Amino acid sequence: MSTSKAFTLIELLVVIAIIALLVSILLPSLARAKHLAKVTMCKNNLRGMEIAHWMYMTEYKGCFVNVGLAHGGAHSREDIAWINTLQGYYGDRLLARSPLDISPHWGPHPQGQPIEGAPPEQRRRVSYGVNSFLVDFGNGQNPWGPPPGGFSRNWPGGDGKAYNRLIRVHTPAATVHFVIMAFAGPYAGADHPHVENWIGHPSPPTVAGTQVQINAADGDVDSWEAKSNYGFLDGHAETQSFKEVFTDGQRNSFDPLAAQ
């Protein structure tokens, strides 16, 4: 007598069900692995930018790059915008777009969606921004600071000058330099946030999330647990939760006076 070696319909359905179950289990893991790979690539971008920034500081006696792409498009300064001044030190095309960046505002115009509150032709040009405590907003001044003293306290040496040079920052390894800008909203086209707006706010993650994509790596955008990538002045980059980089005006990684 001969026996059939073919699958029965029930056996075939069982095999299909097992395969479907395995796929449903593996797909989330694969998606998570892909996302983590993007997080790592983004950190590599930040490290490369920090290395280029150190080259810039070496040539300009410790001075930091400045910002020029304002939120809302007002008072833009292409001549000082860091995405232009840092390009010559990068050694290749500046990796201005993070692999995590899903902003709908990428251009150039007329491509991409218009940015809220900005001129109709303005588009997103860079994923990253520079900590507003580390730039010079004009006349050598940066009047922001935590209480006591409010937003007009003196800076190092009592001279009122900005933290725009490395010599004025005591803990570069603890001071955030580059951030990932918000994917949408008025700051989507800017090259810097305004961290001073977060100080004293009843919900710092809520206001910070409108300027910086604090959940680019994980979490909810208005949560203390939100995670993003940050580049630090000493050249390293880390994935940290918002509560790790900001608590209040006295404890945060943005104001060099408060950074530990």
Counted residue by residue, the chain has a size of 260
Which residues, in sequence order, are CB contacts of 106 under 8 Å at separation 6+? 97, 112, 123, 124
Split at pLDDT 50, 70, 90, the class of 75 is low
pLDDT at 153: 40
Residue type, 25: I
Is pLDDT larger for residue 239 or for residue 28? Answer: 239
Q: How far is CA 247 from the centre of its chain?
A: 18
Contact criterion met (CB below 8 Å) for 177 and 156: no
pLDDT of residue 106 exceeding 80, the answer is: yes
Highest mean pLDDT among 4-13, 63-72, 154-163, 166-175: 166-175
Nearest of 32, 39, 185, 48 to residue 100 by alpha carbon:
39
Could you tell me the pTM of the whole model?
A: 0.84
Residue holding tokens 């803990």? 171
The neighbouring-strand residues paired with 81 are: 66
pLDDT at 17: 87
